[in-house]
Amino acid sequence: MYKPTNLNEFLRLIDDAVFEMEELIYCAEEEFDHDMDGMTESFQAILAELKKFLSAVKAGDIVPGEFKGEGFLPLVGKMRSGRLPIQHLLKELDRIARQGLDED
């Protein structure tokens, strides 16, 4: 997985996650994927929290390595394994927010 080394790269990764969640919601709604049946509300809740997270990082309210809040991770944790294709990406965003960027 791509590891951001600065704030701009971290913001791009969050943007990517927002895009992926929007695509997932679109597929669940428009293509009526039976595997995603009933998941739209959960996906929308995660997307809403992810957008709040993005805004907070942009505003400087969340600094990588200093985040102590719950964020979107509790919602991700409620998902059954395999139901959220970008679960690993979301967990990585949370890790970076809590532990900081991998500055090499």
Contact between residue 86 and residue 47 where contact means Cβ atoms under 8 Å apart = no
Q: What are phi and psi of 73, to 5 degrees?
A: -60, -40
Q: What is the pLDDT of residues 44-62, one digit of tens each?
A: 999 999 999 999 999 999 9
Domain ranges of the chain: 7-99
CA distances from 15 to 29, 31, 36, 58, 81 (A): 21, 23, 23, 11, 23
Which pLDDT belongs to residue 36?
64
CA torsion sign for 65, 69, 75, 79 is: positive
Band of the pLDDT at 98, cuts 50, 70, 90? very high
Residue 104 scores a pLDDT above 70:
no
Rg of the chain in Å (alpha carbons): 14
CA distances from 76 to 23, 37, 80 (A): 17, 17, 9
